[in-house]
Structure 1
Amino acid sequence: MNSSPEAPPTQSHPHRFPHRGLLPEGRYFTLTWTIGYDFGGMTTVALERSSAFARLDNRRVEILTLSPEMKGRDRERELHEAGTLDRKVKIRNLWQDLTTWSDRKLRRMIGTVDPDPSAVDDVLNRSGRDWTELREDSEGHLLQADRYHDRGHLLVIDRQDMKKRGRRGGRRITLFGRDQKVIAQWPTARDFYHAWLDVVIGTKPSYLICDSAFVGNFIHEYRRDNVILSQVVHSHHLAGANGAESSEFAEGKFGFLTRIDGFDLVVTLTDRQRKDLERLRLSAGKLRTVSNLTEDLNGDPDKPRVRGQGAMIARLVPQKRVGDAITAIATAVGEGAEVMLDVYGEGEDRTELADLIDGNNLANSVKLHGHTPSAKTNFRSHSFSLLTSQSEGQGLVVLESLSAGCIPICYDVDFGPADIIEHGVNGYLVPNGDIDALANTISEFMSLPESVVAEMRGNAVARAADFFEVPIVRRWGEVLAETSFAPITRVEGARAEAETVDVDTDAVTVSVRVSDLGEADPEQIFLSWKSRTGTFFGRVETRRDESGVTAVIPQTRFEYITEGYVDFSLDLVFKRGFERVRITSSDDTIVNRQGKMSLYSTKYGNLSGRIDQCHEDAAGAREGFTSTSSL
């Protein structure tokens, strides 16, 4: 592992553990959904970053988890014993806390609705001693979960069929005390999680870094003056990963990608991804690049290795395309190369991949080892590694391979490999999806003189040093220091009213009057749109004048939306604060001439649009959708 920086502290801090000044002063929290037993790159990064913060800056770090599956599991002890987690890093789980806290501490959870004492009547018959009772519909959809305190009394009723019993819709989460009286209630899981975070974090200056995209989709609304909220983008943001400006976003990230300005900081792992997000105008200056960090695996460039021994660490899922690697090995073997591939990972494709191995008579050439703890240490003894993913956030395994002096051979995908690897110098970049080129590159590597390979291994280890703990933690310190604990600006009563809307073949032009901002003055204002079905989103910056703001949206920005409706809003971005305001409109403000998009005013008086499927019938469609009776 890396040693701590030799530089003495630049200032003294009144802490039990004097900090070294790499990071800004404050409390540090990592937020994720769960820490399983076969976790992948995202969780690995979260654990290693938290450990590096604790070790190098000599501070306590807490990893916060929300999954009920973590309750009763001593993952902290297990990870400490495995050497995966620094001793100063603690793991905390929502449900472990709630099921052990006293009533006095539970009362610190503040509800967001007036409590309804009749909620106790919803309790399910307890069938055993398990801490959870569930109610599901005929198709297995969860309708209610009752949770019990470790002392045996009812703790939480999470009912998810409040609108009509037996059908999902409407939610109420009720927290009970030992006397079975209601302590607090929440209408959403988001509000419930926020209440727990308030208790855990408290009021001291704190930095909360979220790694889970799933959690990020609802944590963007957790805004507190004393909390710097950060989100890490660990993988590709587009569904098709084709880089098109208007293509569909990844469903699992849609919630936070459409509200980047709601965070204090959003971190990408590579400059290429940051620039791509900036090109899509998703952020008004909240994006920064901080690479993954990798452990120093002490790779020895001069250590003898079997040239044809390859390694691959990947989940056995379609996105990783492990079948491409196996097929490339089959091609290389068929051409006489003496190569073997050890695959470390588990997943849904295991049976299919095993059949592929058998079908190509590769039982002696490819081994599926399953999930293997500390699989990265195998890079020290292997000669080359393979990465065949459809996309990557950065590719932690590439950094680990370099650190071990194992030459990475990677598909040139977004994002990461090309930012790390210099082709032919410390690794290889192969055209994305070209299995023949992958096989040829393996064969080319096999034919190199040993002196050339030794030089490449030395270059690989040297490149990996750029991603060791000290430089990456220093970089985190830099970007966090740029943030501010200034009070968050809130303008919940802001209004945006369309004054003119003009649609033609080339563009949609919208002029909007903004009011009820009080003393707040947005630094930037964007006009945004979001599809009702699918995950299409976009926005353009507006031009401001005395009467309001004007936005011009090229019709090309809608080209990937083939059908359906989109809703328009104004995004108000403050120095520290973000509000999305629905644009109101009336029929007489809208002029539809010609184009793919026809705008109209909904029955609620809001500005929306319909994508015309047939331009031949565009006139009739426009006529039908410029009326408040359309929806």
Structure 2
Amino acid sequence: MSDYSFPDGHYFSVIGNIRIGAGGQTRMALLRHRLIQTHANIAIPMVTFNPVPSYEPMRENLLTEGLLLPSSQIINMHEWLRHHPYGEDLGRVPAQPEESFTVDETYDGTGSGTVWRIFVKGAHSGEDHWDYLRPDGTRYLRTPADSMLGTTLVLDEQERVVADLDGLGDLWRWWMTELLPADGPVFLISDSRFIAFELGMLNNPRVHVLHQVHNPHQGGQRRWNSPVSASYEQSMNSISDLDALSVLTERQRHDIELFYGDRNNIVVIPNPSEPIIAPTPLPQRTHGRIVMVARLESQKRIERAISAFAIVAAKNAVAHLDIYGDGPDRAELDRQILESGLTDRITLHGHTPNAADQFWTADLGWLTSAFEGYCLALLEARLRACPFVALDVPYGPSEQINSGVDGVLVPNGDVERFAEETLALLADPERLEAMREPARQGALEHGFEDHLNRWADACALAQVQKSSRTHIEFARLSDLTLRLAGTHPRLTAVITVAGTGDRSALNVRWQMWVAESPAPVDLPVEFNLEGDEIHISGLGVARDLPFAADDPHVTGRLLIEWQNSTHSIDLTRKQSPSKVKQFALKVRNRLRD
């Protein structure tokens, strides 16, 4: 019997892939799996989709590192398709052959060097593809080689077509449907935004898709109105298709709702602290030892840490920086350390099992990332009473660190200030020691109990709201009158909405902002529903706005909010300059000539 109120049903943890030495996102998904299975007594198989000849080496590695339970189940799509017995079906037809030639073969890495994948150049169809092979050489799957769309065939042991699909997304949905139990609710907790986007289109009333966002969704300056990063654009534009979107911080939810509008399917579930047992006796901390646990990749901005440590090392003779983790930037960071003359003061240890335990002997930890979701290494360090000096990046550090009490936050990008704050702490052991217990207590507030309760509530909310979900097929603006000059900006418009759901729950907002606005400004608006049409009228007061409504830099929109769905209609006008301004421009240009 569990103390957590997860709805009855079948649960799956949907992970795109798992790799040895994976970063915080995968480690967090594995931790949630262990917590749900151990403390909520719910079997939650992990589902992966990446093509590999065998997942056994991965299972063994994860078990060795304590990241997997002996009772854990990993179901990989390719393993399943390779070995699944389809049985007899006289209606199946053989896959149509085509004139083709093999360009490349992929071997499984064993001594026998068995071919498990073939890249085929499609001379007849013009479509390059991968053929995936069983151990006996028969094909079990054909997929497009370099596209999400295209001919995708699932084949049985006689290479007859089991399923003729259109691309990888269609394959993922078909396979997940094959995995579903015959009856009862199903909860798919996804950590892959690409997989979640595709599974959101399952349109099965039994299936609830909940997706966990692990990083900021914006690019650029990562303000609420910054452009959405290319890797998140598809998933953020399809929030309406999810039964729940979970983010790690209130700040990120706030930014999403400012940009996309209010929805009822966004929840906040911070990363949890995993129960740990402190060693007895506690190991002695090494004065001046700074520890980082991070993948060596662009997000973590380890080059900033090396630059900051060069300043620290010049003023503190005992400081040493130990970095645990591996990644694609390793060679470049080695070069930077060598050129800085710090090879005896900075050590790149590579991937190290149980790296978080290094914080037991550290004086303090560092975080120099360009962005975070909710830094797991920071949480693990604080559990071990190791305060952090961290750049205040979106999101997470400001919601984890009480600056000056249990760590120090430094304005984003200020490497010199970062080094100076570190030097000040190392020079004041009393102050540093006073931060240790508050850091530990702060981490304990994010215990696994709260984490599991929040996931139980999210699943229950998804189930309750399933029947009242809405869908906006399109929204078309007509009969727009928009006057922005003068003392009272005004608007009238009609929006025709095609969609499904209870229209009495629909809301409309008229909003404006400029690039530096902390949030959109709402203007008074009234609307009434007439069938598929929304008739809108708005009247604002110019002096109530922090900018001129007719300023060409103002962005305006009508925003439809409808339960889990929102839709934004741009009202921004590219205004032509007046005749006086046009004449002034001509004169100015002549003078320049």
Q: Which residue of 1 aligns with 2:200?
A: 220
Q: Which residue of 1 aligns with 2:506?
A: 524
Q: Which residue of 2 aligns with 1:158?
A: 143
Shift in Å at residue 313 of structure 1?
1.1
Q: Using a 3 Å threshold, how does the CA distance of structure 1 residues 253 and 179 change in structure 2: closer, same or farther?
A: same
SS of residue paired to 1:256: helix
Q: Distance in 1 between matches of 2:456 and 2:558?
A: 35
Q: Which runs of 5+ in 1 are unaligned?
A: 1-8, 10-18, 108-113, 162-167, 529-537, 562-567, 584-591, 599-611, 621-631
Once the two structures are superposed, the pairs formed by residues 434-445 of structure 1 within 5 Å of their partners are 434-445=414-425
Q: Using a 3 Å threshold, how does the CA distance of structure 1 residues 273 and 490 change in structure 2: closer, same or farther?
A: closer
Shift in Å at residue 307 of structure 1?
2.0
Q: Distance in 1 between matches of 2:119 and 2:521?
A: 42
Match of 2:437 among 458, 480, 499: 458
Q: Distance in 2 between matches of 1:184 and 1:557?
A: 56
Q: Which residue of 2 aligns with 1:82?
A: 65
* Alignment RMSD: 4.0
- Asked if 1:413 corresponds to 2:393, the answer is yes
Q: Deviations over 1:361-384 (max 9, x none)?
A: 211110111222221111111111
Q: Using a 3 Å threshold, how does the CA distance of structure 1 residues 476 and 446 change in structure 2: closer, same or farther?
A: same
Shift in Å at residue 86 of structure 1?
2.2
TM-score (norm 2): 0.80
- Asked if 1:48 corresponds to 2:34, the answer is no
Q: Distance in 2 between matches of 1:134 and 1:570?
A: 47
Q: 2:506 is matched by which residue type in structure 1?
A: Q
Shift in Å at residue 470 of structure 1?
2.1
TM-score (norm 1): 0.76
Paired residues of 1:27 and 1:207 also in contact (CA < 8 A): yes
Q: Deviations over 1:429-448 (max 9, x none)?
A: 11111111111111111122
Q: Using a 3 Å threshold, how does the CA distance of structure 1 residues 248 and 431 change in structure 2: closer, same or farther?
A: same
Matched positions, count: 544
Once the two structures are superposed, the pairs formed by residues 234-383 of structure 1 within 5 Å of their partners are 234-245=214-225, 247-298=226-277, 303-383=283-363
Q: Which residue of 2 aligns with 1:511?
A: 494
Q: Distance in 2 between matches of 1:543 and 1:207?
A: 39
Q: Which residue of 1 aligns with 2:516?
A: none
Once the two structures are superposed, the pairs formed by residues 407-556 of structure 1 within 5 Å of their partners are 407-450=387-430, 452-484=431-463, 488=467, 496-502=475-481, 510-514=493-497, 521=503, 523-524=505-506, 544-547=527-530, 548-550=533-535
Q: Which residue of 1 aligns with 2:87?
A: 104
SS of residue paired to 1:61: coil
Q: Which residue of 2 aligns with 1:63?
A: 46
Q: 1:34 is matched by which residue type in structure 2?
A: N
Paired residues of 2:100 and 2:121 also in contact (CA < 8 A): no
Match of 1:196 among 170, 175, 179: 175
Q: Which residue of 1 aligns with 2:21?
A: 38
Shift in Å at residue 302 of structure 1?
6.9
Q: 1:414 is matched by which residue type in structure 2?
A: P
Q: Distance in 2 between matches of 1:615 and 1:69?
A: 60
Q: Distance in 2 between matches of 1:260 and 1:127?
A: 39
Paired residues of 1:503 and 1:597 also in contact (CA < 8 A): no
Q: Distance in 2 between matches of 1:432 and 1:102?
A: 55
Q: Which runs of 5+ in 2 are unaligned?
A: 106-113, 511-519, 539-547, 583-593
Once the two structures are superposed, the pairs formed by residues 127-166 of structure 1 within 5 Å of their partners are 129-135=114-120, 143-159=128-144
Q: 1:389 is matched by which residue type in structure 2?
A: S
- Asked if 1:175 corresponds to 2:151, the answer is no
Q: Distance in 1 between matches of 2:27 and 2:434?
A: 29
Paired residues of 1:496 and 1:570 also in contact (CA < 8 A): no
Q: Which residue of 2 aligns with 1:13?
A: none
Q: Deviations over 1:285-319 (max 9, x none)?
A: 21111110122344579753112001011222222
Q: Deviations over 1:124-159 (max 9, x none)?
A: 559875121113699xx9821112234432222224
Q: Distance in 2 between matches of 1:182 and 1:503?
A: 57
Q: Distance in 2 between matches of 1:249 and 1:64?
A: 28
Shift in Å at residue 121 of structure 1?
3.4
Q: Using a 3 Å threshold, how does the CA distance of structure 1 residues 485 and 71 change in structure 2: closer, same or farther?
A: farther
Q: Distance in 1 between matches of 2:561 and 2:93?
A: 36
Shift in Å at residue 94 of structure 1?
0.7
Q: Using a 3 Å threshold, how does the CA distance of structure 1 residues 185 and 274 change in structure 2: closer, same or farther?
A: same
Q: 2:25 is matched by which residue type in structure 1?
A: M
Q: Distance in 1 between matches of 2:522 and 2:559?
A: 10
Shift in Å at residue 67 of structure 1?
0.8
